[in-house]
């Protein structure tokens, strides 16, 4: 026992010795805490105060100097421990990252980015909207993968190549962004190990694709640091890439991960923290990501205090979380001031928490040769006006209030030059000290602020609003009295339509899933009694043989034929596939077939009624899962193809409708809002990629549906997605 205790003591001592021993301010997550003197100590709290009668003691210059010396010493020690080399930040091909303050994560399906009717990218429309609403962006993270990825075996690179126009279209689209001064990133999913094997190491595959399309960087989804191998692979192609992990990298990886997300959720204290990566390397760009929060002022104030950026993520997997008018104004302010001060905000001489005169007002000092800037935030819920900051006097120095675009005239005191100006509640300020006239770039910044004329934030609407959706109308068919061949009549009935979306993220937040005509907002869970008129539904999904008849008779060929009937060769389906459901058809292709046949696609509640019958059963055949009623799951990376539509008679619904679940997904409704189109898919498929929870989930139960984000026919088509039709009854 004594030996065991001794071993434990030795282990604890060794663990403690591995930590830096010379700081009182260990980072909490990604944030280094502020000096202790900023904390309010109330009567009921323990702890010593310099004066028992004070609840708060102003952080004076001595307290600030001691705190700054502490974290500066930690920084020096830490760089020695990790063998830090900042050479990558000197690479001219990557220096754009150091002023990439505004970076939205943009869904590739956003309707401002791509017009499916015109069949073209609309980069200028997308950028003009952001310029108007919050002052434009510096880079964009285009997201074409999750949540659609995994509906078939296309891997993340295939999903990018499936975007409209393929590689040539992508190159032209990225060139449009570059023409507007915006850099382009794509995501990388290390968890994507269940879809098609890329046939080469991931670092090489990613580097070569990004070079081929001309992209500038990669966001490492779910990654706490992107390994060095990826940067080296990009360098070997002659096309260096900026790597931006979602999570905080190890301190050592700071040398090659030149960007990082800052996910501070839950850590937005009244007193801002100092981002440890930004502190270790001020040239490292952190973009704060806080996707679900509907109030962004904390993100923006923390960014401005740290001289870092913001991930303006409004379209979250097709769920719209748009910023308010008030936050848009704050974004315009931060974006304008940070771009104008960009050369200052990489200063190794950065001093967070420069002493200020008012409680709740915090500043960072950013020195350069011959001039110094301060970025200032007011965390109070009230305006603060009057003396704000004292700066040691130097003859010939002039001061400029960059927010109000005017020169400041200091009052001389023993403490130095005291500057007075106003900062609104939850507002921003910036000051420049310079010998002589303001430099041309600063004069230009102030001219921009004059043109902007920022209205007080309190006057602007801070109410968050939901983005309403509409269901796309379906034109009825000519009614039929006799049952059409190959169809089954479903009688009219009062039906309780209960269904839920299977989205992986979003919980039960308003905006998740879709909004039916009887609802006032999108939501995940739907329950609505309705009267369904009689209709006929195809007994089986449309087969390859049936679709071939349509092609031959109608001479149909889609304008966007990327991935169209991808499994076919020389104008026909593979041998033995005549009775398998046709796949690699878009919703537009399915509608064209249905129109030719005098039919239409089913409304979702019609599909569900035909599957569920009158007793609310969980599956078409009953309430228990029956493996014999569906194809055997394919969990490989290649996809064997679906089963014949009549291969599983045990899967019949109460009305005798076949192959509704587990073979191929089936097209039903389309929903649209200002930014996103999405289709409701029913039935699930035989394909189940393994290795990650993030793949497109299955919806085998009658009361579940899948939501597929729509972009363009070539992108939307899938090896696991087919359709069946309905006809209205008299």
Residue 419 lies in a domain: no
Predicted confidence at residue 36, as pLDDT, reads: 83
14 pLDDT tier (thresholds 50, 70, 90): very low
Residue 642 burial (CB count, 10 A)? 27
pTM: 0.94
Least Cα distance to 454 among 489, 485, 429, 483 occurs for: 429
* Per-residue pLDDT tens digits for 570-603: 999 999 999 999 999 999 999 999 999 999 999 9
Q: What is the pLDDT of residue 42?
A: 66
Taking 70 as the threshold, does the pLDDT of residue 52 lie above it? Answer: no
Higher pLDDT, 404 or 20: 404
DSSP letter at 523 equals B
What is the average pLDDT score of the chain?
A: 94
| Pairwise CA distance, residues 364 & 367, whole Å | 10
Count of other CB atoms within 10 angstroms of residue 485: 6
Question: In the chain, how many H helices and how many E strands?
Answer: 15, 33
- 668: in domain: yes
Least trusted range by pLDDT, from 48-62, 247-261, 598-612, 708-722: 48-62
Does residue 100 lie within any of the structural domains?
A: no
* Number of independent structural domains in the chain: 1
Tell me the three state secondary structure of residue 166. Answer: helix
Q: What is the pLDDT of residue 9?
A: 38
**Per-residue model confidence (pLDDT) at position 57:** 60
Over residues 130-151, mean pLDDT: 97
3-state helix, strand, coil in the chain (%, to 5): 30, 25, 50
Per the structure, the complete domain to which residue 484 belongs is given by 470-728
Specify the pLDDT at position 37: 83
Per-residue pLDDT for 351 more than 70? yes
Please give the sequence-ordered ranges of beta strands (E in DSSP) within 248-350, or none if there are none: 259-262, 274-275, 285-289, 309-311, 315-316, 319-320
489 within some domain: yes
In a domain, 127, yes or no: no
Evaluate if residue 645 carries a pLDDT over 60: yes
**6 pLDDT band (50/70/90 cuts)?**
very low
What would the pLDDT profile of 361-397 be if each residue is shown by its tens digit? 999 999 999 999 999 999 999 999 999 999 999 999 9
pLDDT recorded at residue 185: 98
Can you tell me the distance from the alpha carbon of 602 to that of 727, in angstroms, rounded to the nearest whole number?
9
pLDDT band of residue 23 (cuts 50, 70, 90) is confident
89 in any annotated domain: no
**What pLDDT is recorded for position 51?**
54
Predicted confidence band at 56 (pLDDT cuts at 50, 70, 90)? low
* Lowest-pLDDT choice from 8-12, 68-72, 156-160, 185-189: 8-12
Q: Is the model's pLDDT at 7 over the cut of 80?
A: no
Query: What's the rounded Cα separation, in Å, for the pair 475 and 483?
Result: 20
Question: Is residue 690 in a domain?
Answer: yes
The pLDDT of residue 453: 86
Location of structure tokens 């609840």: 55
pLDDT of 277 over the 70 cut: yes
At 267, the pLDDT band (50, 70, 90 cuts) reads confident
Provide the token pair at 384: 């603060």
Q: Say whether pLDDT at 270 is over 50.
A: yes
pLDDT at residue 54, as a whole number: 55
pLDDT at 13 over 70: no
Mean per-residue pLDDT for 615-623? 97
Whether 590 is in a domain gets the answer yes
Tell me how far CA of residue 461 lies from CA of 134, 173, 325, 464, 520, in angstroms: 14, 34, 5, 9, 22
pLDDT digits (tens, 9 = 90+) for 422-462: 999 999 999 999 999 999 999 999 999 999 988 899 999 99
**10 Å Cβ neighbour count for 595?**
16
Give percent above pLDDT 70 in the chain: 95
**What are the residue ranges of helices labelled H in 530-654?**
544-554, 587-596, 604-612
Rounded distance, CA 52 to CA 45, Å? 12
CATH code of the domain containing 655: 3.90.1580.10
- Tokens for 525? 């869970």
Residue 58 has what pLDDT? Answer: 65
Query: Would strands 315-316 and 285-289 be described as parallel, antiparallel, or unpaired?
Result: unpaired
Rounded Cα distance, 332 and 324, in Å = 12
pLDDT, mean of residues 455-480: 95
200 burial via Cβ count (<10 Å: 0-12, 13-18, 19+): exposed
Q: Per-residue pLDDT tens for 108-122? A: 999 999 999 999 999
Instruction: Report the residue count for the chain.
Output: 730
């Amino acid at each position: 026992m004594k030996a065991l205790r001794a071993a434990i003591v030795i282990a604890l001592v060794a663990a403690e010795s591995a930590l830096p021993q010379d700081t009182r301010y260990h980072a909490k997550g990604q944030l280094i805490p502020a000096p202790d003197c900023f904390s309010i100590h109330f009567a009921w709290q323990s702890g010593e105060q310099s004066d028992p009668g004070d609840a708060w003691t102003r952080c004076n210059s001595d307290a600030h100097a001691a705190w700054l010396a502490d974290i500066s010493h930690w920084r020096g020690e830490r760089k020695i421990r990790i063998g830090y080399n900042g050479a990558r930040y000197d690479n001219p091909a990557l220096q754009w990252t150091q002023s990439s303050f505004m970076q939205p994560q943009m869904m590739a399906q956003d309707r401002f980015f791509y017009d499916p009717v015109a069949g073209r990218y609309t980069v200028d429309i997308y950028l003009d909207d952001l310029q108007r609403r919050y002052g434009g962006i510096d880079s964009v993270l285009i997201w074409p993968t999750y949540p659609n990825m995994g509906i078939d075996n296309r891997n993340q690179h295939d999903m990018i190549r499936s975007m409209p126009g393929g590689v040539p279209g992508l190159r032209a689209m990225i060139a449009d962004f570059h023409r507007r001064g915006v850099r382009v990133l794509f995501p990388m999913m290390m968890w994507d190990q269940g879809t098609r094997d890329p046939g080469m190491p991931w670092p090489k595959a990613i580097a070569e694709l990004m070079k081929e399309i001309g992209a500038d960087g990669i966001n490492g989804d779910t990654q706490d640091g992107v390994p060095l191998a990826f940067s080296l692979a990009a360098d070997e192609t002659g096309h260096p890439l900026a790597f931006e992990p979602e999570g905080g990298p190890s301190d050592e990886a700071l040398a090659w991960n030149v960007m990082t997300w800052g996910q501070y959720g839950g850590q937005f204290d009244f007193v801002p923290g100092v981002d440890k990566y930004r502190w270790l390397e001020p040239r490292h760009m952190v973009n704060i990501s806080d996707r679900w929060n509907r109030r962004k002022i904390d993100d923006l104030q923390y960014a401005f205090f740290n001289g870092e950026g913001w991930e303006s993520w409004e379209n979250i997997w097709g769920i719209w979380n748009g910023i308010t008018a008030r936050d848009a104004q704050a974004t315009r302010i931060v974006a304008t001031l940070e771009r104008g001060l960009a050369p200052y905000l990489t200063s190794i001489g950065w001093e967070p928490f420069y002493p200020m005169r008012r409680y709740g007002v915090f500043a960072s000092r950013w020195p350069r040769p011959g001039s110094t800037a301060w970025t200032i935030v007011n965390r109070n819920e009230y305006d603060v006006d009057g003396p704000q900051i004292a700066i040691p006097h130097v003859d010939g120095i002039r001061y400029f209030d960059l927010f109000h675009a005017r020169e400041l005239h200091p009052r001389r005191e023993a403490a130095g030059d005291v500057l007075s100006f106003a900062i609104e509640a939850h507002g921003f300020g910036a000051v420049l000290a310079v010998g002589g006239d303001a430099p041309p770039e600063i004069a230009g910044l102030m001219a921009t602020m004059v043109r902007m004329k920022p209205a007080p934030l309190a006057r602007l609407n801070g109410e968050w609003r939901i983005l309403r959706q509409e269901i796309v109308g379906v034109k009825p068919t000519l009614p039929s009295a006799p049952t059409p061949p190959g169809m089954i009549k479903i009688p009219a009935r009062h039906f309780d339509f209960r269904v839920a979306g299977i989205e992986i993220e979003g919980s039960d937040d308003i905006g998740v899933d879709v909004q039916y005509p009887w609802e006032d907002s999108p939501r995940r869970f739907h329950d609505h009694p309705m009267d369904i008129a009689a209709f006929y539904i195809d007994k089986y999904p449309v087969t390859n043989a049936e679709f071939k008849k349509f092609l031959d008779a109608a001479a149909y060929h889609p304008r966007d034929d990327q991935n169209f009937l991808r499994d076919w060769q020389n104008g026909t389906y593979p041998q033995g596939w005549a009775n398998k459901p046709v796949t690699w058809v878009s919703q537009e292709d399915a509608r064209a077939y249905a129109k030719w046949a005098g039919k239409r696609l089913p409304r979702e509640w019609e599909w569900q009624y035909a599957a569920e019958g009158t007793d609310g059963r969980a599956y078409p055949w009953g309430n228990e899962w029956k493996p014999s009623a569906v194809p055997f799951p394919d969990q490989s990376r290649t996809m064997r193809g679906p089963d014949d539509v009549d291969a599983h008679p045990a899967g019949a619904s109460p009305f005798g409708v076949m192959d509704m679940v587990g073979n191929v997904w089936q097209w039903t409704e389309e929903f649209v809002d200002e930014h996103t189109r999405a289709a409701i898919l029913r039935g699930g498929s035989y394909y189940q990629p393994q290795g990650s929870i993030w793949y497109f989930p299955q919806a085998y139960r009658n009361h579940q549906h899948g939501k597929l984000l729509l972009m363009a026919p070539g992108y939307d088509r899938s090896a696991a997605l087919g359709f069946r039709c309905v006809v209205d009854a008299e």
